[in-house]
Every structure is written in structure tokens, then in C-alpha cells.
Chains A and B, each alone.
Chain A
Amino acid sequence: MGLRTMLGAVAALGVLAGMAAAQDADRVAVITPYLAQPGTQFYLDGFEAEAEARGWDVNVVDTAGDIAAVISRIEDAVTQQVDAIVINVDPAQVEAGLVQAQAAGIPVIGMDAGSHELLATNVTSNGYAMAAETAAYVANRIGGKGRVVLFTFDPFPPVQVRGVIADAVFGNYPDIEIIDRITPDVQDGGIADSRAKMEAILAANPDPGSIAAVWAAWDQPALGALQAIEAAGRGDEGIVITGIDANPQAREAIAQGGSFEASVAQDFVGIGKATAEAVARVIAGEEIREPVTYVPTRLITASNVNE
């Protein structure tokens, strides 16, 4: 009886084995610990559409948050001699797997994974460009002059580069004065502490027009600043607020037509598609010269927020 149950289970395995009989198509393993997160799903949609058009045999592996399992699955893919591996996890954490892939000559492509010398390339949004979009928007809206508050977060590299660009853009306008450069406490996502910091700044600058704009390196501080400004009854002063990422809460605020005027949306589907294109180039034998492949982003304002 017991034996029969086991035999049944093993027979099921056998069927699966048959299904996976050798094919000629290029085989690509996509290994992620974060499949359950909504962003990851968009990457995959873009990637899989492109992969299907190219006739690849794609195997998506989700390790449900387990980083060590990502290494294990990379090793398995190497053993299996796939044509390429795509990861979207910090490459430094799975270096053990990357080393094996390199030794076996199998290219690994990062899909918004972070830069690493062992990746053929990492496909991601251009953080510099995103910051430049909103900083230029702010400078544009306030006519190149006025007092501006920055919210930045230098400990986290992808966000730190955004601050650098904002500094550069505003520094180029002699009449724009940065009155404060704030690093909010991000324990709870950043909204609450940003609001508290902004309230203090508003109190220190009570005159209408004394603050022209708030530039935030991501959406949460922008939302916190918006709450502080509206709570202080200064929502009609024309203070311009911008964020980056265009998360749903930010989009909602932008759609309402208040002080929160702009943010930047990453093209997740486009990153997935560009990743597939990078994979195709690598499989074709091309060596991609740029360690990072940038995918264009899009400025979101009230005019296009509902598209």
C-alpha cells in the first residue's frame, strides 16, 4: 500500500521528466527570490513576451525570499548547461553562484539587480536621468529662482546618485538657493518623519513664497512634505513638490492637482523587454560593453498621470 503511494508519486515525476525532454530552443533560467512582489511580475511580463517571440525555453524559478536558494538554483542551471541566466537579486549576495556560472562560461544578466563585474550587464532604469527629469522640472516651474528643500538618502547607493544630480542641476541656477538638505528616518517608509521635518522647516519659514519647491529623491518624503504643507494651510502658496518612482499614492496626489506635481515612472515592462534583448545579444556571442544597460523612464505629471 505504502509502496504503491510512493510509486505513484515517482510516476508523476517520470511524466514531468518526459515533458522536459531535450529541446533545441535556447534555454534561459530566470531566478528571483521576489516573484510575489508586484514589480517583479511586470519585469517578467516584459521578459516573457519577448522570450516567446524569440522561441526560447524559459524556466522561471522563485525561491520565495530565500537568497541562498538563489545560489543553489544558479548552480543547478549551470549544471543543466542553460544558455543564459537572468537574476534579479543583489549580485554581491549570490556571488558564489556567479563564480560557478563564469567558470562554466554561462552568461548571467541582471534584471534591475545591481552592478557586478561578474554580470554580462545589468538592465535597469537610469537613476541619474530620473533625478535630472524632476530637478529640471522644478527649476523650470519656479522660473530658475527661489528657495528649495531637498530630501535625499545617501546611505542607499541607488538613491544617493539622485541627490548628486539634483545638487548639480540646482547648482547651475545662481538664483536657486538650497535652504535644507534632509535625510529622513526611513524606519516606517519615510512619510511620517519627512512630514515632521517639513513641518519644522515651514515653521522656520513662515512667509508665503519663502519656500518655492520641495524636491524629493523618492515618493515617500514628497508625500510627507505634501501632508505638512496642506496641514499648515499653505497648500495654495504654489510650492512645487516632486518625487521619484510614481507609486500609486504619488500618482493619486498628482492627479488631484495639488502641490505634488511630478514624479518619474520606471518602465518595469521595458526593463524586462530590454533584459531579453540583452540576453539575445549575449547568446548571439556579442560582448556587451556597458556594465549597465539603461532603460528610459517617463516623467509623470497631471497631464499624463491617468494614462
Chain B
Amino acid sequence: MLLSIRGLDKSFGGTPALSDVALDLRAGEVHALMGENGAGKSTLIRVLAGVSPADRMDARLDGAPLVLGSPADAARAGFRFVHQELNIVPTLSVAENIFLGRSLPRRLGAAVDWRRLNRMAGDALGRFGLSHIDPRQKAGRLGTGDRMLMRLASMLVSGDTEPRLFVMDEPTAALTHAESERLFAVIRDLRARGAAILYVSHRLDEVMALADRVTVLRDGRRVLTAAMAETGRAGIIRAMTGRDVTEAHPRRAAPARAGTVCRLEDVSAGRLSGLSFELGTGEILGVAGLENAGQSDLLHLLLGDGGRISGRAEVADAALPRSPSQAWGRGVAFVPRERRREGLMLGRSIVANTVLPHLGRLSVLGLARKRLETDESRRLAQALRLRHRTLAQPVRELSGGNQQKVVLARATLDAPKLLLLDEPTRGVDVGAREDIYATIRSLAAQGTGILLASTDLPELIGLSDRILILRDGRQVGLVATQGLDPEGLLSLIYGEARGAHE
């Protein structure tokens, strides 16, 4: 046994976050760590990283007692961490990033030996079969996936001790399919070298394919540790939620097209081109494509945040809004892709975040009505089953899924005419996903036209009535979802398909 933990307790301000948790990691295994948002996964990782030490814990590394009181302890034990948000220095080269924080090879004792540095970095990348990354280029030019792989390569060469355990927190959240595949290959390679990988992800398919064993946390307690082969999908979901959740998306009745909320005719703007579609009231139109194929650009365009256009565009019975503020004023609501950067004021309260776009309507003569703001926020928090302590608490304290619910609550407070959703369930656990899906469906039933951009293909097919396909910013297809399966959609996205164009 590489690492064995027993009786781990950790509480914050009297509220237990982890109680009596046990975890066993073997050398040469991929071990999935699962649980809903707020179940304690992040806390457990922070304990392992020595960032927030446990209140009580019996930890053994190779059978010898192990203290994790600081990040240095974790580094000495051979633990390495890959986070969702990567710490890279975009202005430095890939090679410099890989050797960041350590002395670089030198010539004559002073000048950096660039050639040797680049060769060492190239070797580190090469071990993962990452020869497509040039060590000399600026790290900021790499895609998200390559950045992650670069960080992994950096971990292999970093530190005084051999890496024994890699902890990966949602590594594929921002990766394309191909990038994910490359990462999985690297993970398998690491496993073959005898390292343990603790793998945190909400993507069940991924976990089922990759992990040897799984540990599930619920409400700060370990509820399951089992070999993946012995547990089914349903078993994991049941362990996570404590209830049976049907993952399937119920078929909706086709919407009654009473009107049009959005109409584009041969619109081009920036890198977008050839956009022609109509979105009816109560309709959910999916937007599919490879990573960064223009999905976000399209949503921003309709929000009035896309610059000049050619072609004809009509949104909510008027011309294209000129600014987000005008868009919201006309009943266009938006859930951005990156909730922490584009969505939330993390230090502000749930109420402040929820009512922000609606302050004008909720006030009288410019004076805020705090009671009304709180009432509206409470109504939405209940509808979305938001897990929170009080509505006055800063959203920073909420788990990722619950933060996403706040962003969604904001967008749905005023029953918008047009709702723009950009990856609304990214990094969100199964239970919270269901709540978000239910909200989306109920809005559509009330007549809101919804544009849903997502790279989660089952989600896209399950929710949408039709799907718009983008490739490099260009509209290449518009298909009905009836009878479509993920494989079929994927081939349309890649453009290998037959007769995909309308």
C-alpha cells in the first residue's frame, strides 16, 4: 500500500467537512475520487496537499507514519497536484515553465544555458509522447490541454523526490476530446511506471473507462470504496446521491412555436460566419462544435458583446442589442462559460450576485429594496435547491455546482425571453446537474427560447430540440435531435458525416 489514511477529521469553524474518512492508494493504480459538490473532495485534496492540515488523521506512507502539515511535507512525500486552474507563467517559454522555481542549467556559472534547458524540457515532454509541443514557444500560446500536459511533464522533473502520487482535480474539464485522450494515455503511462493517480472527475464515462478503483464521498464521509469492475454506473450514482437518479433525459414534447425570439440571416461577425437560424419561443437550440469553435462568440454576439456584424439579426423583437446592459434590459439573459471569471463577484453575497441585472426593476426611484431582493433570491434558491448557509454569505464559500446555480438563478430571475447558456454544467456534479436541467426545461415550458452551448454531447442531445453545428466559427449544420446519438453528433462535428447540412 503506497498511502493509507484512517480516521481523517477536518472541520471549518465547527462545521465538519470530513469525518472519519479512510483512503487507500496502491502503487500503480488509478483511483477515482467521486462525490457531489460539497461532499468533501476538495477538502480531502487540500489535506493531502498540506494546504489545510487535518484536525486528526492517521496517515502512513509505505507503512511509515506520515505528517502532512505543509505543502513542503506533501512535496517531500512525492505528491504532485494538477488543479483545474493551472499556475503557469504565460510570458515565459514552455521550457522555463517546466523548470520554474528551480535553478536553470547554466554556462560559465552565470548565463542560462538555453540550449541545454530546451533539450531537457524536450526530453521531459518526450517521455509523454508530447513531441508536438515546442519547448521554446511561450506557454501562453498553448491550448488548455497542452498546458495541462506541460504541467504534468513539469511535475515529473520537479522536486527532489520521485513523484509517487498524482492528484488530478477535474483535469479534463476544459479539454477537447483529443486532448483528453492524450491525457489518458499519459495517465496510463504514469500508472505503468508505478505511480498512483487520484483522479477527481464528474464525468462518469471517463472515470469508468480509466479508473481501477473508486472511492465515493458523501457529506464528508466515505460511503464506498470498491473496484471499478465490481461497481456499476448506477452503484456509483447511488453512492454519491443517496438516491436513484435517472440519468436519461426525458423526451420533451415538441414546443408549440408561438413566436420567434431570435432570427439570424446570413450573419457574419468577427470569426463567426454563415449564421442563419431562427429560435422559437419555448425552443431549446443546442450549439455544438469542437472546443472553441465559436460557441461562446455566438452567445456573446447575441448578448450585444460581439462588435459589428453583417447580415440581418433580430433578437427579442428588436435589432441586435448594442451592449450587454441593453440586452438584459430587453429580456436576454446569459450564463457565461467561466463562472468565476465572467460570472460571479466571489466576495459578494448570494443575493447581490443573484439580483445584479435586475436592480433597476427591483428598485423604486433608484433606491434598492433589500427585502424584495432577498425574497426573490430565496425563491430561486429554493427552486434550484441551492445548498447554502445564509443568503448573505459570499458565493466564494459555495461549492462549484452551487456557484453555478447562483449564476443560473440570476439568469432566470425575470423569466427571460432569450436565455444564453454557455456550458451550464461544466464541473457540476450529477445531483446539481439534474436541478439545472429541470430549471432549463421549466423555463422552456414557460416560453423562454434557449440557446445551449455545450461540449457534453449526451446533455446536448438530451436537452435540445435542434442542434446548430459550428466549425471554426462557421455554421456547418442545423439538425433535429430526434434519433441522433452522441456518436452521430460527434461525426457531424468533425464533418465526416453524410448529409449533415440542411
On whether A and B touch (CB less than 8 Å), the answer reads no
Residue numbers of A with Cβ under 8 A of B are none
